[in-house]
Each structure stands twice: as C-alpha cells, then as structure tokens.
Structure 1
Amino acid sequence: MPLDTASTYGQTLLRSDGRRWNELRRISASISTQSSTDGSSQFVMGNTVVVCNIVGPREGRGQRDTNNALIETEVTVAPFAQTDRRRRMKGDKRVQELQTTISSAFQAHLFTHLYPRSSITISLHVLSLDGALLASCLNAASLALVDAGVPMPSILAAVTSGMITSTDGITPSDPILDLNNSEELELPFLSVGTVAGLSEHQEDKVSVLIMESRIQIGQNGKKLEAMLAVGVDGCKQVRTIMEEVVRTHGIRILRGRK
C-alpha cells in the first residue's frame, strides 16, 4: 500500500524519502561500459538502474526511407526489477509504448539525415525499477548515443514531475520533482524531456512530454503548468550531471592516449 504522501508532506514539507519538493534522487552514470557495442551506458536514478547498448549506424535492410536513418528501440525489463517479479514480454503494452516513445523522440532529435539507408538500434535493459522508467531510459539512451558518436544538437535529458494535491483545503498543493515508485502509484505525474537551446539566450525546448496519469486541470491549468515548469528545471539539473559524465570520460580518454 503506498504511503499517504499528501498528509505527511503537509506536516513536514518533506516527502516519504526525506527529499524536498525540488530535489532529485541520487544520480550516477557512466559510458563505454561494454566494449562489444558501438556505444553503451549505465544510468542510475535513485533505485532505478538502466543499461543501454547502441548498435549502428549500420546498413538497414528493406528500409523505405532513403534519406534518413531509422531508429529502432528494444526495451527489456528484468523479472527481478520489481517487487512483484512480473515478467514483461515484448508484447506488453507498457513496453510497446516505451519503445514507440523513445524511437520517436530520437528520430526527431538525432541528425538522422547524415546516415541515409541505415538503422540505429537502441537496446535498453531495466535492471531495477523504482519510478521514472521512461525518463531513465531516455537519459541512458542519450548517453549511449553520445558514446557511439551519433551527432545530435545537445543531450536529451528527462525527468518526472508530479503534484501533491490538497484534499482538505489546508495541505498545500505543490509540484514535486523526480517521483519514486510509491509516489507514482499515489500522485498524478508526467514525464518530460528537453534539449538545450542552440545558444545561451535560447530557452530549452521540450522534446518529450507524456502525461502518465490523470489530473484535474482546474485553476486555469495552473497545476499542469507548475508540473511542467518544475520538470523543465529538473531536466536542466539532469543535463548538467550527464554533461559532466561525458566531459570526465573524454578527459580520461585523452589522458590514456598521452
């Protein structure tokens, strides 16, 4: 049974895991984790762990689009990733939705026109799941694509944001950042992914926006607007961490060559 986040937050202004409304969980990542693939990464967000492998760009067989590369995504959720030990097959609706969303996001984000008549396969393996599944998959895939050398305008960073709604008229209705699994079961939330602007003066652009659950719009849509604003700001924080991972890896490679 999920914790009653709304009532506990109203008393302490802290969430069930001790975080404030705008705090991310612990994030760690690494790239070039497997030498047998063109690109690889591991992304850890709280207790959610995703491993990604990239194959390609390579010649695509029977591809209809002769001007752009085709992005294909395969998502595998380990049976031990969740407490219920549920085995998600390839025909699972949630898995199919993830694959379609990730493929569409990177099909529009990458410079696919540089690789005509080719395909890029993104293989994602979820080893542990504690919320932010789509966001973690997008972040892991983005890092692995950087490792594979696939050109893109910027790193695509994603995060979840939700809303603690007031039920008694006293508890504050506040947006929260980076929900864990228990919070996702209880609260309305969305997943948002952004790409950085081409210059310092340009704002980040929303590339992925998925409403994961229902929410009452009300109040002229201020709840949804607040969730989106918190999510976009969280994406900036996640992108900063991911860029530091890429920078550190590049420095390590240069030192090795010297």
Structure 2
Amino acid sequence: MPLDTTSTYSSTLLRQDGRRWNELRKISASISTQPSSDGSSLVTMGNTSVVCTITGPREGRGQRDNNNAIVETELNIAPFAQLDRRRAGRTDKRVQELQTTISQAFQSQLFTHLYPRSSILISLTILSLDGGLLAACLNAASIALVDAGVPMPSILAAVSSGVIIPTDNSLARPEPILDLNNAEEQELPFLSLATVRGDADEEDKISVLVMDSRVQLTGTDNPAETMLRIGLDGCQSVRRTMEEVIRRQGTKVMQGRR
C-alpha cells in the first residue's frame, strides 16, 4: 500500500524518508570499476544502484550509417533488484522504452561523426531499484562514456522530480519534490529529465524529458512547470557530483603517470 505522502507532507513538511522537498538522496559514483571494458561506472542514487559498461566505439560489419556511430543500449534488471523478484526480460515494454530513450539521448549528445561505420554499446545492469531508474541509468552511462574517452560537449546529468497535488485545503498549491523514491513514484505524478551544460552565459539545455504521469499543463499553478523548474536545479547539483568524481579520477591517472 503506497504511503500517504500528501497528508503526511502537509503536516510535517518532510517526506517519508525525512528529506525536504528540494533534497536529493545520497549520490555516489565510481569510475573505471571494470578495467577490462572500454569504459565503466557504478552510480548509486539512494537505494538505486546501476553498473554501466561501454563497448566501443568499434567498427562493425554491415553498419547502417556511414557517417556516424550508432549508439545502442542493453538494459538488464537483476531479479534481486526488486521486491517482487520479477525478471524483466528484453521483451518487457518498460525495458524497451528505457533502452530507446537512453540510446536516443546519447545519439544526439555524443560526437558520433568522429566514428563513422562504428557502434557504441551501453550495457546497464540494475543491481537495486528504488525509484529514479532512468535518471540513474543516464548518469551511469554519462560517466562510463567519459571513462571510455568518447567525446561529448558536456556531461549529461539527470534527476526525477514530482509534485504533491493537494486533495483538500491542507496545501495552498502544488508542492514540488526532487529525486523521488519508489514509494513516491507509485503515488505522485513525476517526470525524469536530463540536461547538458549550456554555452557561456546560457542556461543549461534539456536533453531528455520523459513525463511518467499525466498532469495538468495549463493554469496558474502548472504542475509540469513546477516540476521542470526544480528538476533543472537538481540536474545542476547532480552534475557537480559527477564532475567531482571525474576530476578525482583524472588526478589519480595523472599521478600514476608521473
């Protein structure tokens, strides 16, 4: 039974896990976790953990595009990642949607024209799932691609955001919340978005936007606009964490070469 976030938040202004509306779950990331691969990473957002490995860029036979590399994604959810122990196969609709979204996101983000007639494979394994699956996968893939040396204009950083819509007079207007866990995703409308850093004197640009629930798009208190606004700020915080991980790895590599 989902937790009654609406009534609880209105009285305490705290979510079920003790976070305030704009607080991210604990984020940790590691790079080069599997030296045998071209690039790899491990990203944990709260209780959601994702391992990513990159294969390529490698030239392949029968490549459909003679001018660009093709980005492909394979996503596997471990049976022990969820409480119901249900195995999500490759034919699972949700898995297919995630794979397509991730592939399209990096197809337009990476400098694929530098690797004609080649392929880049993003392999993702979900070790633990507690909300924010798409965001965690995008963040893990972004760090692993940096480790693989695939050039891109900016790190792609992702997060989920939702909104608590009042059902009575307890809340004057919809209240946004950042980085939803699984219980909140089951109960509240939310979206997932990813941004890339804008040029000088420009705001960050939205690269991925997936609306996972139906919400009102018009009116004075527009829930979609509210979720977007907090999501943009959340992506900036996530990007700072990812950049720090990459800087530490770069420093470690340079020290090893001395």
- Shorter-chain TM range is over 0.9
Runs of 4+ in 1 over 4 A off after TM superposition: none
Do the aligned partners of 2:160 and 2:191 also contact (CA within 8 Å) in 1? Answer: yes
- Per the alignment, residue 19 of structure 1 pairs with 19
- Per the alignment, residue 135 of structure 1 pairs with 135
- Per the alignment, residue 113 of structure 1 pairs with 113
How far apart, CA to CA, are the structure 2 residues paired with 1:218 and 1:118? 44
1:181 maps to amino acid: N
SS of residue matched to 2:207: strand
Do the aligned partners of 1:71 and 1:106 also contact (CA within 8 Å) in 2? Answer: yes
- Per the alignment, residue 159 of structure 2 pairs with 159
**TM-score between both structures, scaled by the size of structure 1:** 0.98
Superposition pairs of residues 36-51 of structure 1, within 5 angstroms: 36-51=36-51
SS of residue matched to 2:239: helix
How far apart, CA to CA, are the structure 2 residues paired with 1:5 and 1:220? 23
- Per the alignment, residue 58 of structure 1 pairs with 58
Do the aligned partners of 1:153 and 1:198 also contact (CA within 8 Å) in 2? Answer: no
Q: Aligned-pair distance for 1:233?
A: 0.7
Distance 1:107 1:221, change over 3 A: farther
- Per the alignment, residue 206 of structure 1 pairs with 206
* Matched residue count: 257
Partner deviation per Cα, 1:65-112 (whole Å, 9 max, x = no partner): 100000000000000001010100110000000000000000000000
Instruction: Report the aligned-residue RMSD.
Output: 0.9
**TM-score between both structures, scaled by the size of structure 2:** 0.98
- Per the alignment, residue 67 of structure 2 pairs with 67
How far apart, CA to CA, are the structure 2 residues paired with 1:16 and 1:218? 29
Gaps (5+ residues) in structure 1? none
Q: Aligned-pair distance for 1:171?
A: 2.1
SS of residue matched to 2:68: coil
1:64 maps to amino acid: R
The share of aligned pairs that are identical, in percent, is 68
How far apart, CA to CA, are the structure 2 residues paired with 1:60 and 1:124? 21
Note if 1:177 corresponds to 2:178. yes
How far apart, CA to CA, are the structure 2 residues paired with 1:37 and 1:204? 31
How far apart, CA to CA, are the structure 2 residues paired with 1:24 and 1:142? 19
Do the aligned partners of 1:194 and 1:232 also contact (CA within 8 Å) in 2? Answer: yes
- Per the alignment, residue 197 of structure 1 pairs with 198
Gaps (5+ residues) in structure 2? none
